[in-house]
Amino acid sequence: MHLARLSLLLLCLISFDTAYASSDPFTSGNTFSNSTASGFSNNTTAEFLTVDQAYQLSPVITAPESLRLEWQMVDHYYLYRHAFKVLLDGRDVTTETMMNEGLNKHDEFFGDVQVYYQNHDILLDNMAPGAHKLSVTYQGCADAGLCYPPKTVHYDIDSNNNTVSAAAPSSKSALPNNGLVLPPQLDSQQPGASSLIVILFFALAGGLILNLMPCVLPVLSLKALSINNQNIHKTRVQSWYYTLGVVCSFVGIAALLVALRAAGEAIGWGFQLQSPWFVAILAYLFLLLGLAMSGYTELGSSLMGAGQSLTQGNTNHSAFFTGVLATVVASPCTAPFMGAATGYALGQPSAVTFLVFAALGLGMALPFLLIGYIPALHNLLPKPGNWMVRFKEFLAFPLYGTALWLLWVVGRQVGIDAAMIILGGGILIAFALWLWRGGRLAKVLGVIAIATAISFLSSHSLKPNSTTSIYQEDGYQPYSDALLTDLLQRDEAVFVNFTADWCITCLANEKTTLHSVATQQLFEQNNIKRLKADWTSYNPEITAALGKHGRSGVPLYLYYPAGSQSPIVLPQILTNSIMSNAIKGSP
């Protein structure tokens, strides 16, 4: 009966999202019939168009020395004035063109900008007669909230014969394929149900891989051990409660993200870790978990909601709150496939966002569901014994290490004074738990110690004082849109590392690949300029830059070959061979 109720509840939750998604831009039957559609319906659930459908570009030769670029835009779509770039035979002639002033607009991604609705023309009237190679870059957004990455198109033109034809990218601007598998972008040429299915698969895979992250693995290992001596029916019921806890937590995060973005906040996945207060709370949490696993104290109902410890709790409530706890401790992690999935989700209507985040949660909970439904996997769980006590104590050390790392993150965000304050709070927490074993007076002192540790979170030292990390690496310059534009206009090769100190995947890539001797030599030998977009603390410019490339969080790695205005998007997990292939252009 419990299993039936839980199954029905979870299926209703996902079905609810699916039902709403069926009326959103990616699955609705109320779609645009062609690129000349007049605009969105009143309920804003019409299908988002592709770049080519929303913005139709026509180059027109008006004289042997004159060329006019004409755009026709569907209603409720616009183009950015600052994003236009025109190359003629590989030479940037943007400043030589003429265009009208645009409409002033405060944009979610770029701030105060000028934009064009309905139509727009660019005139180039000093072109030498004859044959030329033309490349045009532009970027636009929809009023409904979808922002496309920059689009570059190429033409062969002959002003003497008045001909214009589509062309492949020139060697100056072509990007090597390198055999890299790139995530789907927001300007996919196949929007609709098929794209949503691909994104849901990415979300499911990303959630599954989250289980291997060092912050999550100890918690899940202990939960797995807690069910190794119970019958499979009870395991099956608890697997659904655990799944419900994870999925509800992910959907809750999605709801918070949607609400804050609707209020005008430029945020993405992991935004909460940009707050030193939240990082400090996580450090306290990991310390408490570590102490509990070391046998120092039992966590009790305050954390598991079932009156039992994390290691011994095997009630349904315990399973549910273990799912919630697993989601919380997974917050510093970004698994492969997650970047594309969350970036896509946060650019869509809320129903799609909730559905993608629910898929992330389902992927994370999938191992427990499989254990509950596949007897062979359940039978593989080791039998209980005294070894479990030692194993539980061993798993405390990764949690202590995570708490120490979070303390380091606080120090990187706001300085060593704040880190020392949180360290003092951690010592007070351990002291309070020791006092709790004593009499009534000792317990009162323990409560005072806990209250003092919590009060440390209100310290002024934890207040963010900058949008940029106070630390910079040798060989890297701090990222800015202006600096990137300047380097690209000078035809420099550029590598951009979107990272954060609280991002475990980012730190692993930097340690194993980006800071390795081999990759450093590649940067130096190929004269590659390196920019670090540090998202450790809140930075709206970096958030907007992530959004331009269809991402809502870090890591993101971009490589711009010399002379190219369009980047190669590298995988979220880097190796030296991936970097070598991207830079050298070898298969």
- CATH numeric code, 51-166: 2.60.40.1250
| Domain assignments of the chain as residue spans, ordered by start | 51-166, 193-407, 415-465, 476-584
Q: Which two structure tokens, joined as six digits, stand for 477?
A: 């310059």
Residue 463, classed as helix, strand or coil, is coil
How far is residue 190's CA from residue 248's CA, in Å, rounded to a whole number? 30
Q: What is the pLDDT of residue 221?
A: 72
Q: What is the pLDDT of residue 346?
A: 67
Q: What is the pLDDT of residue 528?
A: 93
Residue 296's Cβ-count burial label (10 Å; 0-12, 13-18, 19+) is middle
How far is residue 503's CA from residue 500's CA, in Å, rounded to a whole number? 5
CB contact set of 557 (below 8 Å; sequence gap of 6+)? 495, 496, 497, 498, 509, 569, 570, 571, 572, 574
Q: Write down the mean pLDDT value for the chain.
A: 75
Using pLDDT thresholds of 50, 70 and 90, give the confidence band for residue 256: confident
**491 has a pLDDT exceeding 80:** yes
Name the nearest CA neighbour of 284 among 392, 394, 406.
406
What residues does 134 pair with on adjacent strands? 88, 155
Beta strands in 500-543 (DSSP E): 528-534
How far is residue 230's CA from residue 237's CA, in Å, rounded to a whole number? 11
Q: Where is pLDDT greater, at 503 or 478?
A: 478
CA–CA distance from 323 to each of 70, 212, 245, 375 (Å)? 54, 15, 5, 22
Out of 64-78, 266-280, 387-401, give the one with best mean pLDDT. Answer: 64-78
Q: Which residue has the tokens 């055999």?
A: 179
- CATH numeric code, 476-584: 3.40.30.10
- For 550-566, the pLDDT digits (tens) are 777 788 999 998 888 88
Q: What is the pLDDT of residue 37?
A: 32
Name the nearest CA neighbour of 21 among 262, 171, 285, 200.
200
Using pLDDT thresholds of 50, 70 and 90, give the confidence band for residue 187: very low
The percent of residues above 70 in pLDDT, for the chain, comes to 73
Residue 59, classed as helix, strand or coil, is strand
What residues does 123 pair with on adjacent strands? 68, 98
Query: How do strand 163-166 and strand 151-158 relate by DSSP bridges?
Result: antiparallel
Residue 555, classed as helix, strand or coil, is coil
Name the nearest CA neighbour of 83 among 114, 42, 104, 61.
114
Out of 413-427, 495-509, 511-525, give the one with best mean pLDDT. Answer: 511-525
User: Residue 469, Cβ neighbours under 10 Å: how many?
Assistant: 19
Q: What is the mean pLDDT of residues 127-146?
A: 84
Q: What is the pLDDT of residue 557?
A: 93
- For 311-368, the pLDDT digits (tens) are 345 677 778 888 887 787 776 666 666 766 776 676 677 788 888 889 988 988 888 8
Q: Cβ distance 76 to 142 under 8 Å?
A: yes
Query: How do strand 151-158 and strand 119-124 relate by DSSP bridges?
Result: unpaired
Q: What is the pLDDT of residue 35?
A: 32
Using pLDDT thresholds of 50, 70 and 90, give the confidence band for residue 531: very high
Using pLDDT thresholds of 50, 70 and 90, give the confidence band for residue 95: confident
Using pLDDT thresholds of 50, 70 and 90, give the confidence band for residue 48: low
Lowest-pLDDT choice from 134-138, 145-149, 387-391? 145-149
Q: Where is pLDDT greater, at 193 or 184?
A: 193
**76 has a pLDDT exceeding 80:** yes
